[in-house]
Chain A
């Protein structure tokens, strides 16, 4: 349960960060929406699937994280 809560918190902070990046022009709106969709589907994805999907949605962000 604690881990679950931490994940929720992390998702929201990540989302907040992506939003800021979009406002700074580092991410397009399309990329941002793709990330939102990915976060909504996060629970059903393995780490590899997540990385693969993130790379597809936003190459720049994927590179930044890795």
Chain B
């Protein structure tokens, strides 16, 4: 191993290993298959070596056959001096084909270190740029640079899975389900009707929860988040509308409703926000104590861009590898990229696509809240439909699950009172890539911003969808 001096920085390289790899590949062309998905031209520091590797890849892709004469002629055509001497040096560089693997690892390691060093240089330049003012922007970009430098190291060994591997995983999941193990399904949000419809939110899935304002989107999100966190599963909550303290109060209130159901001292929402008796204070304090340890992390900065959300989520995932759920409240408050001349629908579509990719990259379900357009209000039946999302980019196209939250008593309070359906909320599953569509019913306890199961109404499932 030696060092190459690039603009005053010494970077690791190994020309001998480069020669050995090339010599082996030219002499034993079948070995190209073993390295093609792990070595890129940038793994070679010597420019002639890099070009030879590019030629090897081109020949391999075009005709699957590599020979000295072909490489020699290509080098001659590119005016590389003394190609015969260069190729003779390659043929004499290795003793056995068994040297290939160790040499490939040397090249991969050297290139990884070089990328890290270059990333550090880029971050230094970025941080010292007098035109860059916003520290949060700099931090987000720095994270992006580091992330890119540590990803895609040319080793996607797991991209191709054979059926045996796939079915082994399926079989393990089947056994776990049979045993009733927690992780066998997707992520349970502890609403039996919702869990029944989804069999749990799946990793890598983008779940849209959409509704008109005041339907209780944030409340339902917080209820689900608390239920998940109570099983010690970390949750990351991006709140672009409400600040963290408002969310905290809602979580406490929701918990106080549970206490009420358990027959403990009643603390109303009004009392919580005004003055409590000593007894009520004790109960409330207990609720705080029960909630302190929940692994819920909240980002309540407004005007976040997708890049900033991605950077924060990546960092959180790096610190909390068992991150179980990401929630974003809500889509329309995500700041579009600067200087974008595209239509709003295209911008939103791009944001949604990037968030779906983020869910995939971090291997967690991501719930994205969304407003619905005003078209709903002009209809007699105000139950949301897929078309209500369509003005906002290709949301439904990228989403794995689309849920609408609807409360009829919001629009028809008198009718609801008459029919006894006050507080009934419909969770309409308009799309499920891996399951049925249909409707489940919850009851919204407005005072406590709490949803509970509505047991009097059956779940309506459309299996044909």
Contacts and interface: CB of A to CB of B under 8 A. Distances in A.
Interface of A: 1, 5, 8-9, 11-13, 15-16, 19, 36-37, 39-40
Nearest to B76: A19
Contacts of B92: 5, 9
Contact of B68 (A11, A19, A37): A11
A36 B69 contact: yes
B68 A39 contact: yes
Interface stretch (B83-91, B159-167, B280-288, B301-309): B83-91
Given A5-B91, A8-B68, 8 more contacts: A8-B27, A9-B88, A12-B68, A12-B84, A12-B91, A15-B68, A36-B70, A39-B68
Contacts of A39: 67-69
B72 interface: yes
8 contacts: A5-B91, A9-B88, A9-B91, A12-B84, A19-B76, A36-B73, A39-B69, A40-B70
A59 B423 CA distance: 98
A58 to B, nearest CB: 15
B90 to A, nearest CB: 9
Contacts of A40: 67-70
Interface residues of B, number: 16
A5 B91 CA distance: 7
B136 interface: no
A15 B69 contact: yes
A12 B76 contact: no
A49 B91 CA distance: 25
Contacts, number: 40
B93 to A, nearest CB: 10
Nearest to B92: A5
Nearest to B91: A8
Q: Give the interface SS of chain B, mostly helix, strand, loop or mixed.
A: helix
Contacts of B68: 8, 11-12, 15, 39-40
Contacts of A5: 91-92
A1 B92 CA distance: 10
A24 to B, nearest CB: 15
B31 to A, nearest CB: 16
Contact of A15 (B27, B84, B95, B96): B84
A66 B92 CA distance: 29
Contacts of B73: 36
A15 B73 CA distance: 9
Given A8-B27, A40-B67, A15 B72 contact: yes
A39 B84 CA distance: 14
Contacts of B72: 12, 15-16
Contacts of B95: 1
Nearest to A13: B84
A33 to B, nearest CB: 9
Nearest to A41: B67
A50 to B, nearest CB: 15
Interface string B94-106: 0110000000000
Interface in B63-82: 67-70, 72-73, 76
A3 B69 CA distance: 19
Contacts of A19: 76
Contacts of A37: 69
Interface centre among B83, B84, B87, B95 (most CB of A within 10 A): B84
A36 B68 CA distance: 9
A28 to B, nearest CB: 15
